[in-house]
Chain A
């Protein structure tokens, strides 16, 4: 690779360090986060606006998955660059490493889950108010098989057969494996990369490249099973082998969107000047376009079509729950907002090279990444979906099924979890250089041009 432009990068402190520039946003985000969490607790535990413990826990799960997806998407970005020995991305890899490093705290999101188990609450025999009592069954029906047996005997038979996998002990062993793996790997990438800032040692790059292969395998397995455990098992009778890949697409949507937003905001604050340019915008845009929209739609449709075609009640029930009442509208909003509209808006080359346009597209996609998780986690599969004779029978019985999308809890929880996450991310960015200043391939990234 020959470069005729002699790149003179500005590697001064003022360009590669955030300093106090992000302090105001950081503090504001932290404040919004605390207020949001407190408000969510007040609304959720107080049962305001018709919320139930299940609704509160699902809302937590959704927003936890949202920030998790952002960091996992960033982690994917980091190791895929090492795996392919990419030169173009060296100038934007550090922000991705910093976002991914938030995974060190992924275990915190499991505390509410643990609280459910520790609350010791069980089911209420013979009453359909089982879910007004705290306990793991509030969120995970499989964790309270007794209650399931009483209230949904048809579903119980299917779920009980899965107890070799879906049981509390194994669930927690897996959860610990996931968060440990992500925390260790993302921290290792960040630390190794920062160590290279001081020494410029090329062997550090070689080491990261060497380990990226095994890490890719571990990443694929952990996010697949985490998606099974924390999202798919909310409807334990249902299953889709594609679900892990679907969640992976969601990670790419959220992670790449936040990476774009982070880089563009850093540039707006006068950092990473000259270092990141239109060529990098275009390629980040391409990645978002390819993984966050097209691959998402491809996997989402493949999953839908196989289930729609086979038409087996225990599989179709999950989609049925997303077609009744207001959910039918939300499903179309998701289809158009996550795929059709941004596909048209971002397909051209020039759109990905305009910073304001790309920023708007990334914010749009980030919102729909959140919305996708809402659509995955919040709906309740109607109990009669398994036993109904016809599709229309269920549709008519649940014609007034509410989506709760405008429930204030959704937004206070987003503000709470998102605010804390943003606070944490900016804090990390302020404590590190924003560019891998002595990466051996930095010159490739600096002189990178799309052909």
Chain B
């Protein structure tokens, strides 16, 4: 483990990292869910924005401690579902119940076709397809919306190159503050993380 210089209070750290290896951020290790929970609360209060917690299992209350805002994904899913519902209805009403000709990339004509004596525009017959497309649009939006908002897929993440971080899947709890955070200063942030009771603070290279 690398040792660091003690931060001098009152002196602004110099930004001289451009010459060294570019760093991703600082990794702080905690021993218990309780410790990481308390620390997360402090990190949020200190006003950091680009940071995250990594734990081997879901820690109850961590979302609240980190101040994570509710995701907008449900709203996207709702409107995608609604779009699927309407699309399915329009598609069926057009193809089965109308003789209209419209341009959808090519010219297409509806084909009114009488099936078992039902009215041409029979909602009950359309509902299964409307249901399915609602689910399809909503589910795809949910999955790919989640991917996009999480920045996935990606082939590599700087944290995965860190040896210490391996215990995040076993028995240790981590807070990572990224270098791109406007409040991030190499030494000050490190001192801050140590003051939160981290058992170790380490630099993560990009």
Contact = CB atoms under 8 A, between A and B. Distances in A.
Contacts, number: 35
A199 interface: no
B33 A301 contact: no
A4 B34 contact: yes
A2 B34 CA distance: 11
Contacts of A304: 124
Contacts of A311: 116-117
A451 B33 CA distance: 16
B139 to A, nearest CB: 15
B114 interface: no
Contacts of A5: 60-61
Given A311-B116, A311-B117, A348-B74, A4 B59 contact: yes
Given A2-B33, A311-B116, A305 B128 contact: yes
A323 interface: no
Interface residues of B, number: 19
A42 B59 CA distance: 62
A309 B125 contact: yes
Given A4-B34, A301-B127, A304-B124, A309 B116 contact: yes
B32 to A, nearest CB: 8
B33 to A, nearest CB: 4
A449 B124 contact: no
Interface string B120-151: 00001101100000000000000000000000
A311 B118 CA distance: 10
A305 B61 contact: no
Nearest to A307: B124
Contact of A4 (B37, B116, B117, B125): B37
A347 B124 CA distance: 24
Contacts of B60: 3-5, 447, 449
Interface in A1-34: 2-5
A308 interface: yes
Contacts of A447: 60
Contacts of B125: 305, 309
A309 B60 CA distance: 50
Interface in A412-451: 447, 449, 451
A313 to B, nearest CB: 13
A4 B33 contact: yes
A5 B125 CA distance: 52
A4 B61 contact: yes
B34 A305 contact: no
Give the top 9 A-B pairs by smallest Cβ distance, nearest first.
A4-B33, A449-B60, A4-B34, A308-B124, A305-B124, A451-B58, A4-B37, A4-B60, A4-B59
Interface of A: 2-5, 301, 304-305, 308-309, 311, 347-349, 447, 449, 451
13 contacts: A3-B60, A4-B32, A4-B34, A4-B37, A304-B124, A305-B125, A305-B128, A309-B118, A309-B125, A347-B78, A447-B60, A449-B61, A451-B58
